[in-house]
Amino acid sequence: MHELSIATAIVESVLEFVEKKGASKVLAIRLAVGELSCVEPEQLRFCISSITEETPMENSALEIEKIDAEVLCPHCSYSGRPKYWEDALSSGPVATLQCPQCGKAAQASQGEDCCIRTIKYVA
């Protein structure tokens, strides 16, 4: 479960930020999680809430914005949504790095990141 290590890094970054700002309480955090990052939003939410007890982040609102995957194919110049693996043993189709137009390997152009977008706090 790599969500715990990602959650830990996020929490450390937010706490460092609010300490520098002299904030007493974090009201809300907005994250961007890319479809290709392999981060499960609900697991990330659970991990963050578990490790923020008794911190300025406790009970803060957490918004997770999904960033859709996009690929760029160096073979046929396709740019857009990737091919999806429909038979994956998961809750839904899984984005691949395969070009839906020519079937060759494509490069991710969007959707790999997991980052903090905004932090709302009380000084």
Each of the 123 residues of the chain gets a pLDDT tens digit; together they read: 589 999 999 999 999 999 999 999 999 999 999 999 989 999 999 999 999 999 999 999 999 999 999 999 999 999 999 999 877 656 677 888 999 999 999 999 999 999 999 999 998
Return the pLDDT at 90: 60
Q: Sign of the C-alpha dihedral, residues 80, 118, 30, 53?
A: positive
Q: How far apart are CA 40 and CA 42, in angstroms?
A: 6
Q: Sign of the C-alpha dihedral, residues 48, 50, 56, 59?
A: positive
Return the pLDDT at 91: 65
Q: Which backbone phi and psi does 108 adopt, to 5 degrees? A: -70, 135
Model confidence, pTM? 0.84
Return the pLDDT at 123: 85
Q: Which segments within the chain are labelled E, that is strand?
A: 25-34, 61-67, 70-72, 79-80, 84-85, 94-95, 107-110, 114-122
**Domain range spanning residue 35?**
3-122
> Which neighbouring-strand residues pair with 78?
none
* CATH number of the domain enclosing 10: 3.30.2320.80
**Count of domains for the chain:** 1
Return the pLDDT at 89: 59
